[in-house]
């Protein structure tokens, strides 16, 4: 934990200093804790700091939910997007862009529409998987995968009948980005992610017991059915708000829990918090890379996480086989 916190601090400082306009660490401290009002101060306070906070909490949240869902399903290949949540959010955002509904709440319209789409998907997956008063794990997973395919098809259908300008907007959103600067929305995501992190730590012993299977966990005195419902709902809601705000940022929820499991072990009391910190560090580093590699232009962060995450995943899997 100490090493991860130190890496997080170094990553945040690097993200503040590095970019099209570079700063020294001393200048960063002077601007953040001083009263500078020039252009350089505005770049740091109004552009880079919100990106860093959004990267920390979105990356941490996606990684946290990935670790939780992998524990619920006992499947290391499950990630937040597997259950169709991202597909539902994508359909909501695509509807707003195709029908030009952004005029209602400005930039918040996309986030709101994405969250409504994700919430509708969560409700649909949950009730389809219900059998009596219990939720069947395998049905939950299969339903999510099928809804993800349906949502992708609906999205492509709308993209095929819209004009080029709107198509570009949809494509830009699906590639992900940390360009949101609304402080209210960033604050909400930050508080929500921290609350769900605390809730998940409370359920860490339950996730440890569920590694033995639902029946064995029940024999150990764990209310596995209720725990699955609570963890699924909270992790899905957190994924939905992250996707609605930052777009489709893949591989974070798959790669980072795997990497942390390889480094710190499988005890969820440590794994959940380390996954949250590791996800934040990873996404901030990817954002730095996306901003500087083709400066003054900027790469979509989803492209960067896909390439780097895929390479890391192959390396980790190779090490595990050895």
263-322 residue pLDDT tens: 898 899 999 999 999 999 999 999 999 988 887 788 889 889 988 888 887 877 777 655
- Determine the pLDDT at residue 12: 94
Any alpha helices (H) in the chain, and if so which ranges? 2-17, 25-33, 39-42, 49-73, 85-98, 108-129, 137-160, 164-174, 183-202, 204-210, 214-219, 224-246, 252-264, 268-292, 301-321
CA dist., res. 262 & res. 18, Å (int): 30
236 versus 202: the higher-pLDDT residue is 202
The class (CATH top level) of 2-321 is mainly alpha
Cβ-based neighbour number of residue 169 at 10 Å: 19
The pLDDT of residue 163 is 81
pLDDT at 93 over 70: yes
Percent of residues, the chain, with pLDDT higher than 70: 95
The answer to whether 117 touches 88, Cβ cutoff 8 Å, is yes
Q: At residue 103, does pLDDT exceed 80?
A: no
For residue 160, give both structure tokens.
Answer: 């095929």
User: Which pLDDT score, from 0 to 100, does residue 7 have?
Assistant: 96
pLDDT band at 53 (very low <50, low <70, confident <90, very high): very high
Per the prediction, the chain carries an average pLDDT of: 85
Task: Kindly report the backbone phi and psi dihedral angles of residue 177, in degrees, each rounded to the nearest multiple of 5, phi listed first.
Answer: -175, 155
Question: Is 133 a residue whose pLDDT tops 80?
Answer: no
**Domain ranges within the chain, ordered by starting residue:** 2-321
Q: Return the closest-CA partner of residue 127 out of 18, 285, 236.
A: 236
Least confident residue range of 8-17, 50-59, 272-281, 287-296:
287-296
Q: pLDDT tens digits, residue range 21-44?
A: 888 888 888 888 776 677 888 888
Q: What per-residue confidence (pLDDT) applies to 107? A: 63
Point out which residues pair with 130 in neighbouring strands. Answer: 135
Is it true that the peptide bond before 322 is cis, omega within 30 degrees of 0? Answer: no
b/e map 190-224, b = 16+ CB within 10 Å: bebbeebbeebbebbebbbbbeeebeebeeeebeb
Six token digits for residue 132: 């009596």
Start-to-end CA distance of the chain, whole Å, equals 26
pLDDT in tens, 172-228: 878 888 888 888 889 989 999 999 999 999 999 989 888 887 777 777 777 877 888
What residue has token string 């006992």? 74
Indicate whether 170 pLDDT > 70.
yes
| Residue 165: Cβ within 10 Å count | 9
Check pLDDT > 90 for residue 55: yes
Q: What is the spatial distance between Cα 93 and Cα 112, in angstroms, rounded to a whole number?
A: 8
pTM, two decimals, is: 0.90
- What's the pLDDT tens digit per position in 279-289? 999 999 999 99
Q: What is the rounded average pLDDT of the residues 68-83?
A: 84
């Amino acid at each position: 934990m100490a090493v991860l916190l130190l890496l997080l601090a170094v990553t945040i400082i690097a993200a503040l200093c590095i970019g099209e306009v570079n700063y020294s660490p001393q200048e960063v401290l002077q601007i953040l804790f001083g009263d500078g009002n020039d252009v350089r101060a505005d770049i740091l306070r109004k552009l880079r700091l919100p990106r860093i906070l959004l990267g920390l909490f979105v990356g941490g949240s996606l990684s946290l939910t990935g670790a939780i869902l992998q524990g619920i399903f006992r499947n290391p290949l499950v990630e937040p997007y597997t259950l169709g949540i991202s597909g539902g959010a994508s359909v909501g955002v695509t509807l707003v862009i195709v029908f030009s509904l952004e005029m209602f709440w400005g930039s918040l319209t996309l986030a709101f529409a994405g969250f409504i789409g994700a919430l509708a998907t969560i409700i649909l997956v949950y009730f389809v998987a219900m059998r009596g008063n219990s939720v069947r794990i395998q049905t939950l997973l299969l339903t999510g995968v099928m809804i993800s395919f349906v949502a992708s098809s609906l999205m492509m259908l709308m993209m095929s009948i819209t004009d080029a300008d709107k198509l570009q907007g949809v494509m830009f959103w699906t590639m992900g980005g940390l360009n949101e600067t609304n402080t209210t929305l960033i604050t909400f995501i930050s508080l929500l992610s921290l609350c769900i992190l605390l809730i998940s730590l409370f359920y860490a012993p339950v996730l440890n017991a569920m590694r033995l299977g639902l029946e064995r966990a029940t024999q150990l005195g764990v209310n596995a059915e209720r725990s699955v419902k609570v963890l699924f709902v909270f992790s899905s809601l957190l994924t939905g708000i992250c996707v609605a705000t930052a777009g489709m940022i893949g591989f974070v929820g798959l790669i980072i829990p795997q990497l942390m499991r390889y480094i710190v072990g499988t005890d969820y009391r440590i794994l959940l918090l380390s996954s949250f910190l590791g996800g934040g560090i990873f996404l901030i580093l990817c954002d730095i890379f996306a901003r500087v590699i083709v400066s003054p232009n900027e790469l979509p962060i989803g492209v960067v996480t896909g390439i780097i995450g895929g390479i890391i995943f192959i390396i980790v899997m190779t090490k595990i086989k050895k």
